[in-house]
Amino acid sequence: AIPCDVTKDGDLDKAATFARSKFGKIDIVVANAGWSLKGNVENLRVNDYRRLWETNVFGVLSTIYATLDHLKKTKGRLVIISSVKSYVALSGDSPYSMSKFAMRALCESLSQELAPDGVSVTHICPGYVATEIRQLDNQGIWHSDWQDPISPRLLISAEQTAKQIVKAISRRQREQVITNYGKLIVLIKRHMPWLLSLLISKFKIKVASKPSPIKD
């Protein structure tokens, strides 16, 4: 392993060079960098969105630029970790959802652009995974005493998620939605978007209405 910050110039090129020298080739790239920032739009500022997009969007793009030539040589597999929230945005979650909607658009474009080179693009859309992402505040500070607000019944383990991702990669799938409720959400969004909007409104489904204090 090699430390890498996707927002720092040169880090990804060094990581790609290391991987190439270590394994002889690069035939699978998983762009997984991301974090979450909560709050209603009126309580946030443009710079808050910009900070998140530096990692969630431009960090993914930088990963692709650093490895694309290698993938073309090996007719490899590019995997972008997105979210079920690339299909549905909730109140208080616009920064994260916007970044994941962007990932879905990126995958659709790249799938067409890279097909002639034999490179597959897989869009991974997990539901709620049991990780520490929800213990980070809006400044990226981890709070060990914060409890995960998501019901355990909705959580899937990182290990189970990884197994489904590996299977999708091996099959060169265009998209893999993970969790049964995630698949249901995507199905309703595609075919009955009005119903999904009705359910969200009726049950007042949302995330944090206010962000943690943000320092300039």
pLDDT, tens digit only, all 216 positions of the chain? 788 999 999 999 999 999 999 999 999 999 999 998 999 999 999 999 999 999 999 999 999 999 999 999 999 999 999 999 999 999 999 999 999 999 999 999 999 999 999 999 999 999 988 887 887 788 878 888 888 787 888 889 999 999 999 999 999 999 999 999 999 999 999 999 999 999 999 878 777 544 444 444
Q: How many residues does the chain have?
A: 216
81 touches 124 (CB < 8 A): yes
Q: Return the pLDDT at 180.
A: 93
206 touches 91 (CB < 8 A): yes
Measured in whole angstroms, how far is the alpha carbon of residue 4 from the centre of its chain?
17
SS3 at position 120:
strand
Q: Return the pLDDT at 208.
A: 52
pLDDT digits (tens, 9 = 90+) for 141-192: 888 888 878 788 888 999 999 999 999 999 999 999 999 999 999 999 999 9
> Model's pTM, two decimal places?
0.88
Domains and CATH numbers, the chain: 11-202 (3.40.50.720)
Residues carrying an active site annotation: 96
What contacts 174, CB < 8 A, 6 or more positions away?
107, 111, 120, 121, 122, 123
